[in-house]
Amino acid sequence: MIQPAPPQPSIGAPRWGYQGSIIQPRQPAFWLFTILLVITGLLTVGEQLKILQAFPTAWLFSWLLLALWLVPVIVAIYLLDQFEREPVSILVAAFTWGAVGAIGLAIITNTAWFQILFKLFGLEFVQTWGPAIIGPAVEETLKYLGLVLIWLIARTEIDDLFDGFVYGAMVGLGFATVENVGYFISPVVATGGTDQLGPVFQMYLLRVLFSGFYMHVLWTGLTGVGLAYYVTRRDQPHSRRVLVAAALFAAGVLSHFVWNSPLLISLLQGRPGPIEMLLFGIFKGLPFLLFLGVLILLAQRRERRWFEIATASEVGTDVLSSDEVASLGDLRRRVAARRAMARTHGGQAGKLLGRLQREQINLAMVRTRVGDDQHPDLVRQRGVIRALKAQLAAVPLTPVPTLRAPLPTLGAAQQPAQSAEAAPTVTPAPDTAQAVTAELPDWAATQPAVPPSAVVQDVWSPTHRVPETGMVVWSSPDPRLPPMLTLQARLDVRVAEQAGDWARVVASNGWTGWVDARLLVRLAT
């Protein structure tokens, strides 16, 4: 029976195998981006220096609180990108554009538009509706300009919808960071600087802790998804792409307008407490946050589908199983598998499984870049995966005192006549064994069984340790054979027999192989 060929990526498939950089001197957009950052950087840094000179305690406290918010948000955005992690240089450029470029241009533009609005409608209207009318239109446009410039500089990096969210969120995060410093300092200025901590902390609760995810990260995340749809979904009619991009840009502006408007402002009259501030943030931004959440889920599902397409011809081989594909497509399952490995085989094994997962994802990256099934890059990536799997297979279970069983022999010519060495097998407790092995890959969860009749009274104990550099292992003491794998550093083993400079070592789970005996570190008796 002829097997159908694996599905191939269509015209809209991402090219994950290419990694770009923001440094592109041959691109005119790069120089425009750089010039704008230099000009606005002078203005933005000047504003920050003024605040530092006037209210140093409030300024430092503001940046300390913002750092506590920035780190987890950046990590969350980074982890949400489950497959192709974006180049650090472009992520930094996106954040910098929001924190410097968009902020600097907004300072000039917002001021000009507020003056025009004041002349047309008067002071009361400007104070009530000015931030809602001017801020969203001006600021979202300027942040969007940065996204367009980044795409013009490194077009291959926005290759699917989720990339638009990532870069949009980073631009919004940069903008929110610097803008919040100004908002934190405003009540300090109003009180003459007599209290430089209390007002800052109160504004931090309102603008960050209770509503940080409803603001610039959300707004520019929406517009970024729209831009990504336009530049990547070339399988769709141009009119549809324009309509979707415009609609999502309008959604970002509208959500910004709702936040800046006087709607629900009565919740914050007087001295609002935590409940009032929380309700204010929820009612103002929750609908748009839920909408963005749906877009993110759809984008992730689309990326997971492309991952399955890219690796379809590898599934069922020794580098990738169908269970592993399912696990790699779900961040929670990935983490669960690493934790299960760490519980049963130690922390180093958990980290090693994490490396394996990353290299299996990189296999999809390579496949989107090359067309030849035997391309050297693809063959090399398969070799990396096989080596990591072999290393994991050699990692023993977490050592515990157990009964031991006779070792499997390597053949009559290599096995001593009176060999009594043995290796144990360790299985989880009966009530947890099934749960633990279900979280591990098939090749890692299976442990050698011990026949009841073979159990003896000795306890396995190591005699040597693998050196810090690790050790190459052979299936037999013959240097003409290709090595099996490399043992991880500091792994405890037992020397079962020696043949000249060769030693057959046994791990606590019964695994055995031949190594250079001269490199082993003897353990104290």
Classify residue 117 as exposed, middle or buried by CB count within 10 Å of its CB (0-12, 13-18, 19+): middle
C-alpha to C-alpha distance for 489 and 487, rounded to whole angstroms: 7
Statement to judge: residues 491 and 517 lie in one domain: yes
Asked, for residue 402, whether it belongs to a domain, the answer is: no
Q: Contact, 423 vs 507, CB < 8 A?
A: yes
Q: Contact, 78 vs 204, CB < 8 A?
A: no
pLDDT above 80: residue 386:
yes
Asked, for residue 425, whether it belongs to a domain, the answer is: no
Distance of CA 107 to the CA centre of its chain: 33
Instruction: Read off the DSSP letter of residue 100.
Output: I
pLDDT band (50, 70, 90) for residue 130:
confident
Q: Which segment of 22-31, 232-241, 307-316 scores lowest on mean pLDDT? A: 307-316
Look at residue 10 and give its three-state secondary structure: coil
Look at residue 422 and give its three-state secondary structure: strand
Look at residue 408 and give its three-state secondary structure: coil
Statement to judge: residues 378 and 506 lie in one domain: no
Half-sphere exposure of 428 (CA within 13 A, CB side): 16
Q: Which segment of 239-243, 377-381, 495-499 scores lowest on mean pLDDT? A: 377-381
391-424 tens-digit pLDDT: 887 776 654 443 333 333 333 333 333 333 433 3
Statement to judge: residues 262 and 388 lie in one domain: no
Q: Which segment of 63-72, 143-152, 211-220, 506-515 scores lowest on mean pLDDT? A: 211-220
191-243 tens-digit pLDDT: 887 888 988 988 888 778 776 556 888 889 889 999 999 998 888 899 999 99
Q: What is the dihedral of CA 486, 489, 492, 498, to 10 degrees?
A: 50
pLDDT above 70: residue 285:
no
Statement to judge: residues 464 and 377 lie in one domain: no
pLDDT above 90: residue 10:
no
Q: Which two tokens stand for residue 229?
A: 């749809």
pLDDT above 90: residue 450:
no
DSSP E strands in 250-331: the ranges are none
- Any residues with CB less than 8 A from the CB of 191 and at least 6 apart, and which? 199
Of 289, 310, 331, which marks where a domain is finished?
310
pLDDT at 11: 41
Asked, for residue 1, whether it belongs to a domain, the answer is: no
- Any residues with CB less than 8 A from the CB of 199 and at least 6 apart, and which? 58, 184, 187, 188, 190, 191
For range 172-197, the mean pLDDT: 88
Beta bridge mates, 464? 493, 522
Among all chains, which residue has been given the structure tokens 């050196």?
Answer: 467
Q: Are strands 502-506 and 512-516 parallel, antiparallel or unpaired?
A: antiparallel
Classify residue 338 as exposed, middle or buried by CB count within 10 Å of its CB (0-12, 13-18, 19+): buried
pLDDT above 60: residue 425:
no
Statement to judge: residues 252 and 363 lie in one domain: no
Of 345, 378, 394, which marks where a domain is finished?
394
Asked, for residue 11, whether it belongs to a domain, the answer is: no
Q: Contact, 503 vs 512, CB < 8 A?
A: no
Its sign, for the CA torsion 242, 248, 253, 254, is positive
Statement to judge: residues 146 and 173 lie in one domain: yes
pLDDT band (50, 70, 90) for residue 267:
low
Half-sphere exposure of 57 (CA within 13 A, CB side): 11
pLDDT above 80: residue 22:
yes
pLDDT band (50, 70, 90) for residue 248:
very high
Statement to judge: residues 253 and 362 lie in one domain: no
Among left, alpha and beta (phi > 0; psi -120 to 50; other), residue 490 is left
Statement to judge: residues 274 and 298 lie in one domain: yes
| Mean pLDDT value across the chain | 77
pLDDT above 80: residue 369:
no
284 closest CA partner among 218, 204, 187, 201? 218
Statement to judge: residues 357 and 489 lie in one domain: no
Which residue segment(s) compose the domain that 494 sits in? 459-525
For range 306-312, the mean pLDDT: 77
pLDDT at 433: 37
pLDDT above 90: residue 69:
no
pLDDT above 60: residue 17:
no
Asked, for residue 8, whether it belongs to a domain, the answer is: no
For range 419-437, the mean pLDDT: 38
Look at residue 5 and give its three-state secondary structure: coil
pLDDT band (50, 70, 90) for residue 447:
very low
pLDDT at 138: 93
Q: Contact, 160 vs 232, CB < 8 A?
A: yes
C-alpha to C-alpha distance for 124 and 121, rounded to whole angstroms: 8
Statement to judge: residues 225 and 264 lie in one domain: yes
103-126 tens-digit pLDDT: 999 988 988 998 898 888 888 888
pLDDT band (50, 70, 90) for residue 18:
low
Asked, for residue 19, whether it belongs to a domain, the answer is: no
Q: What percent of the chain has pLDDT over 90?
A: 21
Asked, for residue 422, whether it belongs to a domain, the answer is: no
Statement to judge: residues 255 and 333 lie in one domain: no
Distances (CA, A) of 33 to 102, 109, 148, 193: 11, 18, 10, 37
178 or 314, which is more confident: 178
Q: What is the 3-state secondary structure (H, E, C) of 109-125?
A: HHHHHHHHHHHHHCHHH
- Any residues with CB less than 8 A from the CB of 343 and at least 6 apart, and which? 398, 436
pLDDT at 376: 85
Q: Which segment of 48-52, 301-305, 335-339, 353-357 scores lowest on mean pLDDT? A: 301-305
Residue 35: count of CB within 10 angstroms of its CB: 10
- Any residues with CB less than 8 A from the CB of 6 and at least 6 apart, and which? 309, 312, 313
Q: What is the CATH number of the domain that holds 509?
A: 2.30.30.40
Asked, for residue 266, whether it belongs to a domain, the answer is: yes
Domain count of the fold of the chain? 3
324-344 tens-digit pLDDT: 888 887 777 888 888 888 887
Q: Contact, 177 vs 70, CB < 8 A?
A: yes
pLDDT band (50, 70, 90) for residue 7:
very low
pLDDT band (50, 70, 90) for residue 178:
very high
Statement to judge: residues 119 and 146 lie in one domain: yes
- pTM, two decimal places: 0.63
Of 310, 330, 355, which marks where a domain is finished?
310
